Amino acid sequence: MSIHIPILIIISPLLAAFLVLFTRKHKIILATVSIIASIVFTLTLSSQVLSGDKIIYHLGGWRGPIGISLVVDGLSFFFSLITLGLGLLVIIYSIPERRYGRTYYFLLLISLSSMIGVIYTADIFNMYVFYELLSLAVYLLIAYPKTGVTLRASFNYLIMGGVGLSFFLLGVGFLYAMTGTLDIFHIAERLPAAFNSSTRMVLMSIVLIVTGMGIKIAVFPLHGWLPDAHSMAPSPVSALLSGVTVKIGIYCLIRVVYTVFSTEIFLLIGSHNILMVLGVVSLLFGASMALAQKDLKRLLAYSTINQLGIVLIGLGIGTELGLTGALFHVLNHAIMKSTLFFCAGIMIAETGTREVQGLNGFSRQQPVITFAFVIASLGMIGIPPINGFASKWLICLAAVEAGYTFLVVIILTASAIAAAYYFRVIQVLFSGPLKQDPMHAHEGGQVIHGGNLFRSWPIYILAAACLLLGLIPTLGISLVKPAVSLLLFHVVP
């Protein structure tokens, strides 16, 4: 049974997703249990993976360049752990909301299952299929409240995402034309020969794939869908989108750039400079747009663009330290941003407004939630005892080491702007009188009681994780180490 674990991790939420449609009462238990099962399965692989092993599972017993195989190595293990952990918290956070019926949990489970699919599969077309499945589920989750703005946000995302995945698929087509296989590791073996004979096709495919994933990650000129989609979706879905779904795009980018096109080709073309430039631009753009927002969730959405810029800079630097910092920042951003969105969900429910200005005196109503919000936003800015500092510090060190000193200045500037907009929110939270009649409220129609156990515990857990990773950063770095050594030195055959 133990060799079948990679497929069981994918199948368990998928099976639960279809079983959920049959029951009315047990949907939450089913969803939670299936995700917990997946997490347990993943953890059983941890000792093997962290020691540098690579677990390969051949679906249907078909090997090699023909069959589809699942690969669990340092990188995919790291991303799947983030996905499943946050997925569980998102499900727990959605429990008190009575409006969410069977379809909601079905879509949530389908999206989580296909995220794990994207992460584990070693077949690049299968990756596309899973990604499209994930996107379909996510479009529907955004449009779940069926209000006008959510429908529009979902449609925007659908059009942009459709174009992005079309680019990706066209790039995959070029890869197939050159190498005659779809297995990532076999493509990587055959690509250097193809690079010598048909350089332009390799260039074409890398451009197409990076553009396609760029739309999914929302780098600056292609970010149009993100602010609407992330801010209009229901709060748990926002946390899922910002925390996990965007990271899947980053995973695909890393997989394709560093594994399929090996690092050598990548550096030869000079694409790392492009990643860096894109990172810098979206960093500054995200920060300055967030500064101008009045809507709390919209502010957080622009902040996502800002933070992803930092990740891209780390990836673009491409040294060991830079990659460590980038991957560590992926983990930290996932934790911090979902904390913030969870808190924002409670704030909006309690005060009945989405405006930052309407949050007056929230700290007196919900002191603990406010404390968690403050911790996470200090992490976003990069104040020392919180985890965001550790990863930003690593990226700055990497930039200095690689001779890009100006990047440090830019990251610091963006952090200063981030401080400006987060402190604005914090100031409002702590100032002003308690609101006289807290309009009990809407995120689309029904009363939500913010002090709920299921709502607050995910926030406490995530805030504790922020502090823990900030105080003992080696904890996160040791999780990232196998992935980095895999990407740079190909230690595993």
Partner 1 sequence: MGSSKIIRTIAQKIFPFIVLFGFYLISNGHLSPGGGFQGGVVLGTAIILLALSHSIEQTEKKFKSRWLNMLEKLGILTLIFLGFLGILLGYSFLSNFLPLGKPGQIASSGLMLFFNIAIGIKVAAGVSVIFYALVRYRGEI
Partner 2 sequence: MTPINISLLVFMIGLYGVTSKNNLIKKIMGLTIMNGSIVLFFISIGFRETGLAPILEKGTTSGISTTILVDPLPQALMLTAIVIGISVTALALALVVKIYAKYKTLDIQQLSKER
> Which one of partner 1, partner 2, none interacts with residue 98, CB within 5 to 8 A by kind?
none
In the complex, the smallest distance separating the C-beta of residue 169 from partner 2, rounded to whole angstroms, is: 5
DSSP assignment letter at 183: B
Out of partner 1, partner 2, none, what residue 270 binds, judged by CB under 5 to 8 A for its kind, is none
For the bound state, the minimum distance from the C-beta of residue 102 to partner 1, rounded and expressed in Å, comes to 11
- Is 277 a binding residue for partner 1 by CB under 8 A? The answer is no
Q: Which residues lie across from 71 on neighbouring strands?
A: 56
User: Could you tell me how many residues of this chain bind partner 1 (CB under 8 A)?
Assistant: 16
Residues facing 55 on adjacent strands: 72
Identity of the amino acid at 138: V
* Cα(107)–Cα(326) distance, integer angstroms: 30
Contacts with partner 1, 1-20, as mask; x by CB under 8 A: x-xx--x---x--xx--xx-
State which residue, 19 or 488, has the beta carbon closest to partner 1: 19
Is the Cβ–Cβ distance between 422 and 295 less than 8 Å?
no
Pick one of partner 1, partner 2, none as the site partner of residue 19 (Cβ within 5 to 8 A by kind): partner 1
Instruction: Collect all residues with Cβ–Cβ distance below 8 Å to 300 and sequence separation of at least 6.
Output: 230, 231, 238, 242, 337, 340, 341, 344
Instruction: Compute the chain's Rg from CA coordinates.
Output: 22
DSSP string, 158-178: HHHHHHHHHHHHHHHHHHHHH
Q: Shortest Cβ distance from residue 461 to partner 1 (Å)?
A: 31
Determine, following the binding rule CB under 8 A, whether residue 270 of this chain makes contact with partner 1.
no
- Of 304, 305, 241, nearest to 112 by C-alpha is 241
Q: What are phi and psi of 55, to 5 degrees?
A: -100, 125
Report in angstroms how near the CB of residue 438 gets to partner 2 at its nearest.
24
Between 166 and 452, CB nearer to partner 2: 166
Q: Indicate the residue among 11 and 315 with the shorter CB distance to partner 1.
A: 11
Instruction: List residues binding partner 2 (CB under 8 A).
Output: 125, 129, 132-133, 136, 139-140, 143, 146, 148-149, 151-152, 154-155, 158-159, 162-163, 166, 169-170, 173, 176-177, 182
Q: How many CB atoms lie within 10 A of CB 235?
A: 25
Interatomic CA distance for residues 361 and 456, integer angstroms? 19
Residue 162 interaction partner, one of partner 1, partner 2, none, beta carbon < 5-8 Å per kind: partner 2
Closest to partner 2 by CB, 229 vs 398, is 229
Amino acid at 387: N
Work out how close the CB of 60 gets to partner 1 at its nearest, in angstroms, rounded to a whole number: 4
Using CA atoms, how far residue 453 sits from 26, 99, 113, 346, 369, in Å, is 19, 18, 26, 12, 12
- Out of 22, 406, 457, 489, the only residue in the binding site for partner 1 (CB under 8 A) is 22
Mention every residue, 6+ apart, whose C-beta is less than 8 A from residue 70: 6, 7, 10, 56, 57, 59, 120, 121, 122
- By beta-carbon proximity to partner 2, the closer residue of 170 and 188 is 170
Residue span 50-89 as binding mask against partner 1, x where in contact by CB under 8 A, dash where not: -------xxxxx----------------------------
Contact 244, 86 (CB under 8 A): yes
Q: Which residues bind partner 1 (CB under 8 A)?
A: 1, 3-4, 7, 11, 14-15, 18-19, 21-22, 57-61
